[in-house]
Structure 1
Amino acid sequence: MNIFRNLCASGFKTIQINSIHTSAPSLAWTKSTLPKNFLSHNKKVYPPQEIGEERRPAFVCHQITNIKYSPDKLWYIACLVRGMTADEAVKQLSFVNKKGAEYVKKAILEAQELAVSQHNVEFRSNLWIAESYSGLGNVIKGIRRHARGRLGEVRYKYSHYFVRLEEGKPPKDYYKLNPQTPQQQLDSWLENMRKRKVTNSL
């Protein structure tokens, strides 16, 4: 402290240093790091349909970015609502006692509003969840103090949630859109096995 007083007295200028809080989310990422490819499907323009062709259902893509929630935990909630109608998914999520369920419910309600207001969907209840998944967002690294002067690394994970609502009625079984008979499953497995090749072999 005496050295600092002597330096100030000898003519050195003092420099004021403002503290920076690195834990603030605004400093951790910028807008350029947010996902953009998923929402680009909303801007896709399709050619006019021919007479007698089956009507193409309307759809809307929506996302919520940088949720302070683990993407692994959010994945279970995203799987829960796949293949449900939008109204049924909102009802089911109201009884899920998880923090991530509130984010998923909010995303579905926002997607319904976008479908009606911007994508020419007549009835907001005539929508079902065609896609629902989570992704890893930004990861902020921190430190945790241990005994004897040692330090450990802590990772604060953020996640993104993506949902696509489609107009119409949902399928009876979402995970069996293309069912195969046991014989067809065996044939496809054998074909994949015969396509195997040992690297650097003849």
Structure 2
Amino acid sequence: MASKANSILSSFRRFLVPHRHQFYRMTSVASTTTPVSTVQEQAPPYREFYGRCEQVKTSPQKLNLVAKVIRRMKVVDALVQLEYSDKKVATFIKDTIKETQRNAIQIHKANPDNLYVSASYVGKGTYLKRIRYHGKGQSGKMYKYYSHYFLKLREGPPPVKKKKSKEAQGCYATRRLIQRGPITIPNCL
């Protein structure tokens, strides 16, 4: 009788499907329609906090120059970097980080020393067309650029950046030189 029950239970193994990091299993043959989830000991999930600054009066390229500097940095280090930056858009990013950090600490009770910038990216805003006046009664088009800034803070230690070995860096540089082609101009007479 026990072997028959084992064979029936083994036939249900094909229905075991992982879903959201939890595995479902059938408890008995009678309860085939209601799966019961088994609770597994897992690390607590990390929390993420989002912030954004929309319609910044600058081009996305200029904003991205500052945004990519602070990626994968601790929040304290990122604020120091932005404090001493010469770029005008650094103030927008600094205010966004401070506001997101304040919301994470006050509302969600996050540890301020345990936050790092998980994502820092830029989106294209509205482009306004304007007239640009030239000499002799001529005119042309001019664009007023706006952009959006998005930020994601994550709780936990920042990820460790993997360093390439000297050999890997050399191979990459050599491969790019080979793909670029010869520097000299071929003799075409």
TM-score, normalising length: structure 1: 0.60
- Structure 1 gaps of 5+ residues are 1-45, 183-202
Q: For the pair shown, which has the larger CA radius of gyration, 1 or 2?
A: 2
2:181 corresponds to: none
1:69 CA displacement? 1.2
Q: Write out aligned runs for 1:1-202 (5 A).
A: 50-121=39-110, 123-173=111-161, 176=162
The AA in structure 1 aligned to 2:56 is I
Classify the secondary structure of the residue corresponding to 1:103. helix
1:157 CA displacement? 0.4
Deviations for 1:14-46, whole angstroms, at most 9, x for unmatched residues? xxxxxxxxxxxxxxxxxxxxxxxxxxxxxxxx9
* Count of paired positions: 134
1:160 CA displacement? 0.5
1:94 CA displacement? 0.7
TM-score, normalising length: structure 2: 0.64
Inter-CA distance 76–61: structure 2 relative to 1 (3 Å threshold): same
Q: CA RMSD of the aligned region, Å? A: 2.7
Which 4+ runs in 1 deviate beyond 6 A?
46-49
Inter-CA distance 47–63: structure 2 relative to 1 (3 Å threshold): farther
The AA in structure 1 aligned to 2:77 is E
Inter-CA distance 143–136: structure 2 relative to 1 (3 Å threshold): same
Is the contact between residue 62 and residue 111 of structure 1 (CA under 8 Å) also seen in structure 2?
Answer: yes
1:47 CA displacement? 10
CA distance in 2: counterparts of 1:52 and 1:88, whole angstroms: 34
Is the contact between residue 58 and residue 119 of structure 1 (CA under 8 Å) also seen in structure 2?
Answer: no
Classify the secondary structure of the residue corresponding to 1:112. helix
2:187 corresponds to: none
- Structure 2 gaps of 5+ residues are 1-19, 23-37, 169-189
Is the contact between residue 59 and residue 119 of structure 1 (CA under 8 Å) also seen in structure 2?
Answer: no
Q: Where is the strand percentage greater, Structure 1 or Structure 2?
A: 2
Deviations for 1:139-192, whole angstroms, at most 9, x for unmatched residues? 11100111121111110001110000000110111xx59xxxx7xxxxxxxxxx
